[in-house]
Amino acid sequence: MSDRAAEISAAYAAATPELGAGHALEARLIGPAAYAARLVAARDAVNDAGADAALIGFGADMRYLTGYAAPALERLTMLVVPARGEATLIVPRLEAGMAGDAPAMRGGSVATVPFGETDDPFALVAAAVRAGARGGSTPLSVALSDRLWATFVLRIESALGAGSARPTLRLASEVIGRLRSVKSAEESALLRAAGRAVDSVVKAITSGKLVGRTENDVAREVRERLTGAGHEVASFAIVGSGKNSASPHHEASSKVIDAGDAIVLDIGGQFGGYGSDTTRTIWVTGPNGAVPPTDDFLHRYEVLKRAHQAATDHVRPGVSCESVDAAARAVIDGAGLGERFFHRTGHGIGLEEHEDPYIVKGNGTLLVPGHAFSIEPGIYVEGLNGARIEDIVLCGDSAVDQLNNTGRDLYVVPG
């Protein structure tokens, strides 16, 4: 084991899921030097793509490159990563102190340019782009963060010039997307710790009281336990019981959980910035096994489990994202239940809950070690019930690496 690998596994082992553990592990693993390296890689990617700059607003790209979780404000905050020279953060003066505390700014790899209430931040962005353009001062191609608001896009566009003097605009994901979708050892350690934390919540909920409680009440317990286990944000708590389990993105409602209900429990949060996301399916029988799962439901669950296993076993470097989807779908189609599995098999995960690579037909992206994504087939019978199994996995050097490890059998509990 390399020194760095040993350091990471020691840090991971020390991070027992508890209040605040996510942020503590993130601070230990990803420091100013890591952000400096990411910014160099981003500048290289800008050059490789033949672009003059990448303009990054608040959001996951900003956080990835600087460690700054910029607030979503009407005032512009923008990181300019030029083809030549140093990155610059254009930031409202009243946010400058907070931005300056972020690791990349503390480490000196980003120059901070604060602006006052009557200054024009778009002119500052345009000046930074021209200063770092490839061919002197005339930018030809500029990449913008994918989720940049229209109010910013239009004003940046006009600040960059008019008519034929205006550079072509493109998506930043086309330029720097791969940096984020392929996780480093440190990011993988955070995802692994996030998986372990959320697994502890699944264990608590599946072994606790369910019958007679509302979905909302169980969801509240999920959220409390997610933060108690080290997540800084409890992002979602899907508790779909009975008919609601057939609606894949049902959140939680005032419905009371009853004996004979299937429950789809799909929960996750942010742990040191990185997402957790796992689903398990429960059947509550009531006391003394009063209402056991129906044969039809057990049959569908067995098919689902085989589909989940087939997709998981298929994961290795060099296979396409769509072939992982196809592996799950073949099992469910083969059982004549294809119509009941109507969503993609999975999504990438990292600083965002849903990001590249998507595990869906049409995505020919080939897996490489470090790709992190969910495998989450589901089978739903509208008006009756549904089931889903979801794990986050990493593509390892030669095989899959599962980050969720609670039992994948149907949880048949008295409730």
**DSSP letter string, 53-93:** EEEE-SSHHHHHHHS------SS--EEEEESSS-EEEEEEG
Considering only 3-11, 15-23, 266-274, 286-294, which stretch makes contact with Zn ion by CB under 5 A? 266-274
**3-state secondary structure at position 140:** coil
**3 state SS for 12-63:** HHHCCCCCCHHHHHHHHHCCHHHHHHHHHHHHHHHHHCCCCEEEECCCHHHH
In angstroms, the first-to-last Cα distance of the chain is 45
374 or 404: CB nearest Zn ion: 374
Distance from the Cα of residue 30 to its chain's centroid: 17
Considering only 74-82, 115-123, 217-225, 264-272, which stretch makes contact with Zn ion by CB under 5 A? 264-272
Number of residues that bind Zn ion (CB under 5 A): 4
Considering only 23-31, 68-76, 323-331, 386-394, which stretch makes contact with Zn ion by CB under 5 A? 386-394
Q: Least distance to Zn ion from the beta carbon of 364, Å?
A: 21
Nearest CA to 155 out of 55, 63, 65 is that of: 55
DSSP β-bridge partners for residue 190: none
46 or 237: CB nearest Zn ion: 237
Q: Least distance to Zn ion from the beta carbon of 243, Å?
A: 19
Number of alpha helices (DSSP H) and beta strands (DSSP E) in the chain: 13, 18
Contacting Zn ion within 201-260 (CB under 5 A): none
| Cβ neighbours for 375, distance < 8 A, ≥ 6 positions apart | 308, 311, 312, 315, 324, 328, 345, 346, 359, 390, 391, 393
Considering only 1-9, 171-179, 198-206, 371-379, which stretch makes contact with Zn ion by CB under 5 A? 371-379
Q: Least distance to Zn ion from the beta carbon of 11, Å?
A: 26
The answer to whether 63 touches 187, Cβ cutoff 8 Å, is no
> Token digits for 328?
């799950």
H-type alpha helices, 315-378: 321-334
251 or 258: CB nearest Zn ion: 251
92 or 378: CB nearest Zn ion: 378
Considering only 38-46, 47-55, 68-76, 387-395, which stretch makes contact with Zn ion by CB under 5 A? 387-395
Q: Least distance to Zn ion from the beta carbon of 281, Å?
A: 12
35 or 236: CB nearest Zn ion: 236
172 or 393: CB nearest Zn ion: 393
105 or 393: CB nearest Zn ion: 393
Contacting Zn ion within 269-328 (CB under 5 A): 277
Q: Least distance to Zn ion from the beta carbon of 2, Å?
A: 32
Give dist(CA 271, CA 351) in Å, integer.
9
Q: Least distance to Zn ion from the beta carbon of 262, Å?
A: 16
Q: Least distance to Zn ion from the beta carbon of 349, Å?
A: 7
The answer to whether 404 touches 267, Cβ cutoff 8 Å, is no
28 or 250: CB nearest Zn ion: 250
H-type alpha helices, 229-320: 295-314
Question: Per-residue x/- marks for Zn ion, 172-211, CB under 5 A?
Answer: ----------------------------------------
Contacting Zn ion within 26-65 (CB under 5 A): none
Considering only 146-154, 304-312, 333-341, 370-378, which stretch makes contact with Zn ion by CB under 5 A? 370-378
Length of the chain (residues): 415
Give dist(CA 301, CA 308) in Å, integer.
10
Q: Least distance to Zn ion from the beta carbon of 23, Å?
A: 23
Q: Establish if 266 lies at the interface with Zn ion (CB under 5 A).
A: yes
Q: Least distance to Zn ion from the beta carbon of 60, Å?
A: 16
> Token digits for 15?
């991070």
Instruction: Give 333-339's long-range contacts (Cβ < 8 A, gap of 24+).
Output: 335/303, 337/300, 337/303, 337/379
Q: Least distance to Zn ion from the beta carbon of 32, Å?
A: 32
66 or 276: CB nearest Zn ion: 276
| Residues in touch with Zn ion (CB under 5 A) | 266, 277, 374, 390
